[in-house]
Each structure stands twice: as structure tokens, then as C-alpha cells.
Chains A and B, each alone.
Chain A
Amino acid sequence: MSEEKVFVPVDNLRKLHLIYSDTCSTCGICADYCPTYLATKDPELIPGKKHEFALKLINAQKSFLRMIFGPKPVDAKELREKVNHLYTCTLCGRCSEVCSYNVDLHSLWANLRVSIFKAGFAPEPLKALRDTIKNAKDPYGAGLDMRTFWVRRARLRSVPVKDKANVVFFVGCVTALRAQTRMVAASIAQILSFLGEDWTLLGDKEWCCGSPIMMAGDEETAKEFAEHNVEVIEEKHADTVVVGCASCYRMLRWEYPTLLRRRPRFEVLHIVELLDRYLEEGKLKPVKSDVPVAYHDPCELSRLGGVIKEPRRIIKALTNNFVELPENGVDTRCCGGGGLLQAFNNELRVKIAMERIRQAEKVGAKIVTSACPACKLALLDGANSLGSSVEVLDIVELLARQLQLQPK
């Protein structure tokens, strides 16, 4: 019986990816920093091992011989198995940060997902997730009319949905639709109103930012979503878009211009960047506490987004007892909340999150904050699984609490 052979076109890979594919010397250092390997000890999940498969896929299409004689098919059974390993990844990018050769493995994994999705070999749960997002415009299938449901649930009397405003608050699906994170949206809304900003929501015109679609590998659909979101934001004539989610931030700030081949006519800020500005200007004067507070850097905000100092300055304005987690900043340890791992292997996600909570306990933190709703969910799950007493909050929730803002 002949084995099924398939072609996986890797035309979306750039020249640098081809160089990266030849650059790994399998030194194995990445293993000690990969959250999925550390949680499972499965050698197939070591980035250096996944790299071997990446090289095989790439050489089947892009080696010099293949460029002359045409692409070579790969074994479908092996492909399916290796695809599972490739998607058992939080896309935290720590392997890129620790690689001895500066190889940007994160970019390689993300682009290989696009190749695999195009070839139809993406894991079924992620294909289903992509379909849900495509239909409902959010990963939960809630629909656009549920986008502002959090306003009522958070007991806010009103939030503006205007035709024009200086600032657009792009809420994001997780923040808007998950019970554990809707207070993040409410806190941002309260703070923006407290600051007297001329701001608005997009309301039912806000679609998913496209980050989970990109992570599943469907670049084309992500581009459609980007086009829509940019169009509706630009209709508001806003100068600034504020986001509270690290994935949305990375998508809007760094990926949209690349996807759309143009820079949108607005500045994208994570809420912590905006709040840091206001703190510096003295417009925010929160009450300081003595509670030990730790900050978990979301990978997509710090390592992959470049926002590191701002949240620390905010927390230092909120507490006299800021404690740094052991792996932080650009070298942050993933909480497990990224890369669609929740949809693909939730058990592993929680296991990874538990380790981060243990670290918070070790440094004596009573509150662990983050600046991403996906991190908050993962850390909450980790804390619950451990039975930990560490309180998990988003940084804006803590700020709203210490500004003593009440729902209005």
C-alpha cells in the first residue's frame, strides 16, 4: 500500500526564514526555556526538534535542487504528527529570545502555520475556531450584538458609541465576552471617562482583531478582519486607538500595517502606555498600598510588542511593594495563554500557568497583575488549579480600584 504524499507550499516564507531554517545547530539551549517542553518534557516539543521538521518542509520546496526539479511531496502521516507538535506551542517567542544564533523562531513557527493551514493540515479544533470567528466575528460564537454586553454586566450606566472621537477603545473579544475579564473593559472605560478623554467604542462594528485567525494560520481571513477594523476605526477620525489586550495590541500595532501594506491613520497604544503618560503628567493620582504586587509580562506585549517599562512604572505608582517575577521583561516566561493552546491543549495551558503562579508565590506576591485578558484567564486557571491565594488582576483593574472609581 502506497503512503499518502502531499505538497505543503511554503511560498509565504521570506528569505530570512529560509536562512533561519539552515541556521539552527541544535545546541538545545531553547529546551530549557520553552514552556511546552518544560511542562511536558516531550522532546518532540523542543524548538530545535520542531526546527528539524521545518527544515524538511522547506527543503522539500525551496532547496536549490527542488527549485530546479520542482517540489517534493512529504509523507502525510508524518506531516499530521509533526503539525500537532508545531501547534503545541504558545507562540510566546521565547525560543527566539534565547536562541544562540538569533534565529527568530517565533516568526518561523507563525509562518509555517500559514503554510500548513493553506495545505489544509491545520488541526481540526483550530479550523473550527477559525470558522467560528469567520461567522460570528469572535472566537466564542457570541455574535456582534453581544459586543457591549459587558457594559450592562459591569453595571456601567453608559459608555459612548459616537460617530467621531479622538480615542477609540478597541475592546477585544476576550475582554468583552468572558465573564472573568469584563471588569478589565469596565475599568478601562471608567479610567478613560475619569480622564475626560473624548473616546468611543466601536460597538457592534468591532470584529475580532484577527490574532487567533493568524495563529491558526489563515492569513487571508485575518487580512479581511484587519481591513474591516481599520476601516471602521478610520471612519471615527480617531487619532489614537487604545487596546487592553496584548494580542490585539500586537495585531493592530505591528501586524496590520504588514497585512494591509499601509500604515493606518491612527496611533495604536496599549492602555498601559496611555496611563503611563497620564501618570507622568500627574493627571492620575492613585492611592498607594503596601500590598506586594508582581507583574507578569504578557509575551505579546513585552517580548513581541516592546512595552516593558510602562506597566512597571504604573505598578510602582500603585504599591510600595512591587516584586519582580524571576523571568520578566523581554525574557518573560509564558503563562500558557497564547498560541491558541487553550483550543488545542487546555490541560497543558493550565499546567504552564500553574508554574507561573508558583513563581509568584515564591517571590511573596499577594497580587499578580498582567496587561492581557488571555494572561489573566490563564493565570486564574493556574491559581485555581493550585488552590493558590494569589489574587490575579489586570493592571487596569488594580488601577481603577486604587483610583477608587465606582461604576457610573
Chain B
Amino acid sequence: MDFSNLLLTFVYGIMPLITLAIMVIGVIFVFGKWFLPGTLTPTGGPIRIGRLPNGDYYINIEWFSWYRWFTGKDKPKPRKSWWHAVGYAIENLILDVLLFRRVFRRDKVTWALSWPMHISAGLIIFSGVHHAAHSYLLGISSEAPSVDGLVLPIPQFFRLPLTIPGLPFPPIVIHILGIIFLVEVVLLLIRRLTVKKVAAISKFDVVFDLVMLICGGVVGVTMGFIGPLPILVAIHGIIAHIYFICIPWTFYTHIIGGMPFSAIASGVRKARLGV
């Protein structure tokens, strides 16, 4: 086995497992922070226990109290019903999460940069490239099957996702989407660095993540032009791994948190106030 095969075996055979392990730990950390009542050990402080008006105790997990919030007599009476809250939450999930309504309302330029970027990224990740879904192992190793002589440590595990078809886009469409994605991310990075108010609040992880996206995009688009050279495939894979590792540890947690939970909570708030 030559060096390039060894590299690809590492990138597509071993790194996915490392990536998944780090991602899973990260997601546990994030969800632990969000959902666990109180703290895990006595060193961290007491477990939070709530008390109902009738004297009963309950463990304070905010999510379970939502229903109580709307029906309980110990909470402000909302202006609109519980069903309105459900409707608003669904509306927010569709319009704010999928179409970026809130960004569109406030800043059309940022919307023109960010919405196509996210949509093209989504389409690329879930599309079929090189006989396999790009989303193979969370988008980690779509190129793997196209490389001759690749040794996979657990072949059954890696072959399984190949049976799942991606979105049926021809390669040219994916290629165009890749170019759109790349241009948009570059413009977003320029916005980050040059618009004073945005630069002032941008942390290192935000800029780092955008740079990673640009690197991944450049390699991906290059492969679209000259084909999947092993070295490009390996670089694309390494960048993709780093990207996925970053999700629970950097500002990318907005993918997990901001999208569903805040949109739902906002719908509840809207029904409460009746606005």
C-alpha cells in the first residue's frame, strides 16, 4: 500500500471514528449543560428542586414545565391559546430556520450572503457525489468509495451508508452549488473582518470556522474542475473532519440550539403576549 492509500485509509477509515467520538462527547457536554437539572456532583452545588404551590417537590427541567406554564394557575394567563403557540413555533421553524426570515427583514445584504450559503451547503451535503451520498457519515467520507485500493477497517460499517441514495442532482449542479457556497463564504468572511460592528464582536472561533469552510470549499470546487485526486480527497476529508469536530465546541452550537429551541420558545412568547 503506498503513502496516498495509507493517508486515505487514515482520513476515511480512522478519522471518522475519532471525529464521531469527539462530536458525540461534545454533544453530550452541550446537552448536559442545557438539560441536566442542577449539577452532577456535590462539588458543583445543589441539584435544583422546584416546589409547587401545593407543597409538592419536582425536579426543575424547564421543558416539562411548558405545558404547566400554559395551563397552570400559577403562571400569567397568556393572551392566546396553547395551540397558537404550537402554530407560531411551527411558523418560526419554517420561516426563520429554513428561510432566514428574521435576517431577511433586518439586513437584506446579510441574507443574500447567508441564506444561499446555507442552502447550497445543505444541498451539497445531502446530494449524491461519486456514487455515494455526501452525507455519508455526516458528510465525512463521501469520496472514500471512489479511491482505488482504500482499506477500510470495518468494511460493513462503511458500506452500509453507500446504500442510502443522496439527492439526485447531476454533478454539474453540485459543482455550481459549490461555487456559490465558496463565493458566499468568502464574502461572509470579508463582512466579518471589514464591517466594524461585526468585526468587533467576532470571536476567534467564528473566523476560524469560516476559514475552514473556505478551505473545504476551495478543495471541493477544485475537485469539481480537475477530478478527485487522492491528495485533494484527503485534504477535503481532513477539513470536513475538523469542521464536524468543531460543531459542538464552537459557535456552531447555534446549529443545534438556535435552530429548534429558540424558534419554538419565540413562538410560545408570541402566543403569550398575543403579538
A364 to B254 Cα, complex, angstroms: 43
| Chain A 219-238 interface 0/1 with B at a Cβ cutoff of 8 Å (1 = within) | 00000000000000000000
Complex A-B, nearest 5 residue pairs according to Cβ-Cβ distance, in ascending order? A43-B200, A306-B273, A15-B62, A101-B258, A102-B266
Residues 203-219 (chain B) with a chain A CB within 8 angstroms: 203, 206
Q: Which of A22, A69, A255 contacts B30 (CB 8 A)?
A: A22
What residues on B are CB-neighbors of A65 within 8 Å?
29
Given A32-B106, A33-B106, verify A67-B197 contact (CB < 8 Å).
Answer: no
Q: Which residue of B lies closest to A18 (CB)?
A: B34
Q: Which residue of A lies closest to B261 (CB)?
A: A19
Residues 55-73 (chain B) with a chain A CB within 8 angstroms: 61-63, 73
> Are A16 and B265 touching (Cβ within 8 A)?
yes
Binds B, one of A82-90, A164-172, A181-189, A256-264: A256-264
> Are B201 and A52 touching (Cβ within 8 A)?
yes
Number of interface residues, chain A, beta carbon within 8 A? 59
Asked if B130 is at the interface of the complex by the 8 Å CB criterion, the answer is no
> Are B197 and A68 touching (Cβ within 8 A)?
no
> Are B106 and A67 touching (Cβ within 8 A)?
no
- Minimal beta-carbon separation of A23 from chain B (angstroms): 4
| Chain A 8-46 interface 0/1 with B at a Cβ cutoff of 8 Å (1 = within) | 010100111011101111111101110001000001001
**20 A-B interface contacts by CB (under 8 A):** A19-B262, A25-B206, A26-B206, A27-B114, A28-B197, A28-B201, A48-B201, A64-B28, A67-B36, A69-B41, A71-B44, A100-B96, A101-B262, A102-B263, A104-B266, A104-B269, A256-B76, A262-B74, A304-B273, A306-B275
> Are B266 and A62 touching (Cβ within 8 A)?
no
- Minimal beta-carbon separation of B260 from chain A (angstroms): 10
Asked if B100 is at the interface of the complex by the 8 Å CB criterion, the answer is yes
A66 to B39 Cα, complex, angstroms: 8
Q: Which residue of A lies closest to B252 (CB)?
A: A25
Q: Which residue of A lies closest to B209 (CB)?
A: A25
> Are B33 and A18 touching (Cβ within 8 A)?
yes
What residues on B are CB-neighbors of A403 within 8 Å?
none
**Using a CB–CB distance below 8 Å, which chain A residues touch chain B?**
9, 11, 14-16, 18-20, 22-29, 31-33, 37, 43, 46, 48-49, 52, 59, 62-71, 98-104, 253-258, 261-263, 302-306, 308, 330
What residues on A are CB-neighbors of B274 within 8 Å?
306
Given A102-B96, A262-B53, verify A16-B198 contact (CB < 8 Å).
Answer: no
> Are A25 and B32 touching (Cβ within 8 A)?
no
Q: Which of A26, A48, A62 contacts B33 (CB 8 A)?
A: A62
Asked if B40 is at the interface of the complex by the 8 Å CB criterion, the answer is yes
- Minimal beta-carbon separation of B199 from chain A (angstroms): 9
Q: Which residue of B lies closest to A62 (CB)?
A: B33
A349 to B30 Cα, complex, angstroms: 38
Q: Which of A20, A23, A99, A306 contacts B102 (CB 8 A)?
A: A99
What residues on A are CB-neighbors of B79 within 8 Å?
306
Asked if B103 is at the interface of the complex by the 8 Å CB criterion, the answer is yes
Asked if B170 is at the interface of the complex by the 8 Å CB criterion, the answer is no
> Are B257 and A32 touching (Cβ within 8 A)?
no
A20 to B106 Cα, complex, angstroms: 20
What residues on A are CB-neighbors of B92 within 8 Å?
102
> Are B103 and A20 touching (Cβ within 8 A)?
no
Given A29-B106, A69-B44, verify A24-B265 contact (CB < 8 Å).
Answer: no
Given A28-B195, A305-B273, A308-B275, verify A49-B262 contact (CB < 8 Å).
Answer: no
What residues on B are CB-neighbors of A14 within 8 Å?
62
> Are B265 and A26 touching (Cβ within 8 A)?
no
> Are B34 and A15 touching (Cβ within 8 A)?
yes
| Chain B 20-42 interface 0/1 with A at a Cβ cutoff of 8 Å (1 = within) | 00000000111011111011110
A261 to B251 Cα, complex, angstroms: 36
> Are B76 and A263 touching (Cβ within 8 A)?
yes
Given contact pairs A20-B257, A22-B30, A70-B44, a sample of 20 additional A-B residue pairs in the complex whose CB atoms are under 8 Å apart: A11-B45, A15-B63, A22-B254, A26-B251, A27-B114, A28-B201, A46-B197, A46-B201, A49-B200, A64-B30, A68-B44, A98-B106, A101-B258, A101-B262, A102-B262, A254-B76, A262-B53, A263-B73, A263-B77, A303-B275
- Of listed B41, B43, B53, B254, residue having the most chain A CB within 10 A: B254
What residues on B are CB-neighbors of A27 within 8 Å?
103, 110, 114, 198
| Chain B 138-161 interface 0/1 with A at a Cβ cutoff of 8 Å (1 = within) | 000000000000000000000000
What residues on A are CB-neighbors of B43 within 8 Å?
68-70
| Chain B 183-203 interface 0/1 with A at a Cβ cutoff of 8 Å (1 = within) | 000000000000111101111
What residues on B are CB-neighbors of A52 within 8 Å?
201, 203
Asked if B2 is at the interface of the complex by the 8 Å CB criterion, the answer is no
A71 to B43 Cα, complex, angstroms: 8
A323 to B251 Cα, complex, angstroms: 43
> Are A261 and B74 touching (Cβ within 8 A)?
yes
A387 to B74 Cα, complex, angstroms: 48
Q: Which residue of A lies closest to B104 (CB)?
A: A100
> Are A100 and B103 touching (Cβ within 8 A)?
yes
> Are A23 and B201 touching (Cβ within 8 A)?
no
Q: Which of B44, B206, B262 contacts A66 (CB 8 A)?
A: B44
Asked if B253 is at the interface of the complex by the 8 Å CB criterion, the answer is yes
A11 to B203 Cα, complex, angstroms: 26
Q: Which of A19, A63, A70 contacts B257 (CB 8 A)?
A: A19
A262 to B73 Cα, complex, angstroms: 6
- Minimal beta-carbon separation of B243 from chain A (angstroms): 15
